[in-house]
A and B are shown apart, each in its own frame.
Chain A
Amino acid sequence: MQAFNNPVLEAHKLTVAIGGKMICRELDIVIRPGECWGVLGQNGVGKTTLLRTMAGLHTPQAGMVSLNGVALAAHARRSLAQHMGVLLQNEGGEFWGSVQEYVLLGRFPHRASLFGYNAQDEALAQQALAQMELEGLAQRPHNSLSGGERQRVAIAQVLAQRAQCYLLDEPLQHLDLRHQAQTMQVFSHLKEQGCALMMVLHDTLWAQRCCDHVLLQFADGHALHGTAQELLTRAHLEALYQCPLRELSVEGERWFVAGV
């Protein structure tokens, strides 16, 4: 039981800057199994850069990130990818194959042989497609998908990775309401299974429903983090987004709407 609750992902005195802009200063966070962290902030405060740093895709100015107690830099890229699934906001690649082939790439870090994917990989890819309700699209060319479909397929690829922690940059972008709910349900399920999640969100409602912790990133490089319960309040969010908000209470949930 002790081992179960050991931190999965940690930031120690993490200082990140990009292009001369300070993203965060001496940030300390600890993400444990079964926790879901929401990252909120205005456009351009560096949510993506922070997430990329946590994923080992961006080198911090100072401090470090560790996975299961070992610094990211000490992991081989492949072993990192076996434990950590990353959903990027913009992949910037053109994939010429089918949706199924694309999702199968999520198994790349777990591949047992150089020569291809085995039946288990195929089965897990198929399962990930099913989780995202994408079975009907499996044979479609990936570059013929709509924005929302492409996003769900990208999530399916990350799910196929069967990681221990997931870093998700705006997982709900381009998704319609039904698929937002369906996707968040999939993430909640991962959480129940003991995975650690960190996701950039813009919707405070989803943050309330799914995240137990939140990290509020402010424009000057300082950040607040704590439980969703204590931080997702009107005062904090107004300070965060620098705009007046109206608070509605519906069936015990707090909704925040930008006021004019």
Chain B
Amino acid sequence: MPPRVLFFLLICSVPLSLGFGLMNGSLPLAPIEVWYALLGNNEDTATEVLWQLRLPRVLAAFVCGGLLALSGVLLQALLRNPLADPYILGISGGAAVGALAAMLLGAGLATTQLSSFTGASLAIVAVFGLGFRHGERNIYRLLLTGVVLSAGCGALISLLLTLAQGEQVKGMLFWLMGDLSHSQGLPFAWFVLLAVGLCATVLSGGLDVLAGGLDKAAALGVAVGRWQAGLYFAAAVLTVTALQLGGSIGFVGLMIPHAIRLLGVSAHRWLIPSSTLLGGSFLVLADTLARMVWSPMQLPVGILTALLGVPVLLWLLSRRS
């Protein structure tokens, strides 16, 4: 598919997915009701639900999906590994240990957030400090350091789950599988997404070169070390912001960039904005379904991202061959 066409279709998908998210939930609204409620002229339940609950929720889902997909694109370019996703470098592991430890100690939402942020930051610094060597053309050390740290965090997560009491475990599982019901810091997340997304699109030519091999990139005039450090921290900021919004929602960061590539778009100039839009729309869709299918109970959105994404991606993969 030509990149422009795909990009246009993805732009069109944004109002559709947002509209779908606004209409559905435990109180279904018709499109016209959503429209009137958005105008906010009357003071009825619909207006209240829409402005207080649904709008922040769909905006959180969209930005979170965009953050994860963009982070995935940047990490796949940095690590030049198709299996790279926002969680591969142990950032989510650190965040999860922080969040779960706070939950175990009975901390409130704010403290949990702070604690997960601290955990993620420690992981980012540790992986970079131990795994990154300036001027080293081999990025495996960074990748392996991240994977090792993730494994360590996995053990700590299991330990914390074992120590937790009945009701705590459920909250922890929701955090681990991703859940957008307690989203905070929405304006900041949008700022991060737009700022990093814009910078990455402007610098996308260098990413194309970098993806072709590090020595080649250096020979073509890219300051490889600086780019690597920049990409690492950009992806880390995106990931941490997404984790703060919705916990560790899986699948989006790994698969959305591949879905765009399988549709025939690989130049970063198009891959970055397209992945961001698709990630956002996709997560809004998944989150809305997570609220709908078991209504009034809400499922962790991470379950839906995988259940929806896996068949689509398998279809795309088999179609190519």
Question: In the complex, what residues of B have CB within 8 A of residue A59's CB?
Answer: 135
Task: Report the separation of the CA atoms of residues A78 and B223 in the bound assembly, to the nearest whole angstrom.
Answer: 8
- What sequence of 0s and 1s flags, for each residue 71-83 of chain A, a beta carbon within 8 Å of any chain B beta carbon? 0000001111110
Minimum CB–CB distance from B254 to chain A (whole Å) comes to: 16
A contact residues around B208 at 8 Å (CB): 97, 101, 105, 108
Give the Cβ gap from A99 to chain B, nearest Cβ, in Å.
12
Q: Which residues of B contact A116 (CB under 8 A)?
A: 205, 269
A88 with B212, Cβ < 8 A, contacts A82-B221, A108-B205 known: no
* CA of A102 to CA of B215, assembled, Å: 15
Having A88-B216, A91-B216, one finds 10 other A-B pairs with CB under 8 Å, namely A55-B219, A57-B215, A77-B218, A86-B216, A92-B214, A92-B215, A94-B82, A105-B212, A109-B220, A115-B269
A-B contacts at CB below 8 angstroms, number: 80
B203 at interface (Cβ–Cβ under 8 A)?
yes
Q: How far is the CA of A180 from the CA of B212 in the complex (A)?
A: 24
Q: Which residues of B contact A94 (CB under 8 A)?
A: 80, 82, 211
Inter-chain contact B80/A93, CB cutoff 8 Å:
yes
List CB contacts (< 8 Å) of B176-205 with chain A.
202-203, 205
- In chain A, residues 219-239, which have Cβ atoms closer than 8 Å to a Cβ of chain B? none
Known interface pairs A97-B266, A108-B205. Does A57 touch B213 (Cβ–Cβ under 8 Å)?
Answer: no
Sorted nearest first, the 4 A-B pairs with minimum C-beta distance are: A81-B221, A93-B213, A96-B266, A109-B221
Q: How big is chain A's contact interface, by range?
A: 20 to 34
Partner of B213, one of A78, A92, A109: A92
A77 to B269 alpha-carbon distance, docked (Å): 22
> CB of B267 within 8 A of chain A?
yes
A81 with B269, Cβ < 8 A, contacts A88-B213, A105-B209 known: no
> Is there an interface contact between A108 and B215, defined as CB atoms closer than 8 Å?
no
A81 to B80, CA, bound (A): 22
Query: What size tier do the contact residues of chain B reach?
Result: 20 to 34
Cα–Cα, bound, A55→B203 (Å): 24
Contact call A108/B221, Cβ cutoff below 8 A: yes
Closest residue of chain B to A59 (Cβ to Cβ) is B135
| Proximity string of chain B (72-101) to chain A, C-beta cutoff 8 Å, 1 when within and 0 when not | 000000001010000000000000000000
Min C-beta distance of B78 to chain A, whole Å = 12
Instruction: Annotate A50-65 by CB proximity to B: 1 below 8 A, 0 otherwise.
Output: 0010011101000000
Contact A102 B220 (CB under 8 A): no
Residues of chain B lying within 8 A (CB to CB) of residue A86: 215-216, 219
* Contact assessment for B267 and A78 in the assembled complex, using a CB-CB cutoff below 8 Å: no
Instruction: Give the complex CA separation of A205 and B71 in angstroms.
Output: 51
A80 vs B206: C-alpha distance when bound (angstroms): 16
Say yes or no for A38: interface residue by CB 8 A criterion.
Answer: no
Q: Is B222 an interface residue (CB 8 A)?
A: yes
A111 touches B205 (CB 8 A): yes
Residues of A within 8 A of B261 (CB): 96
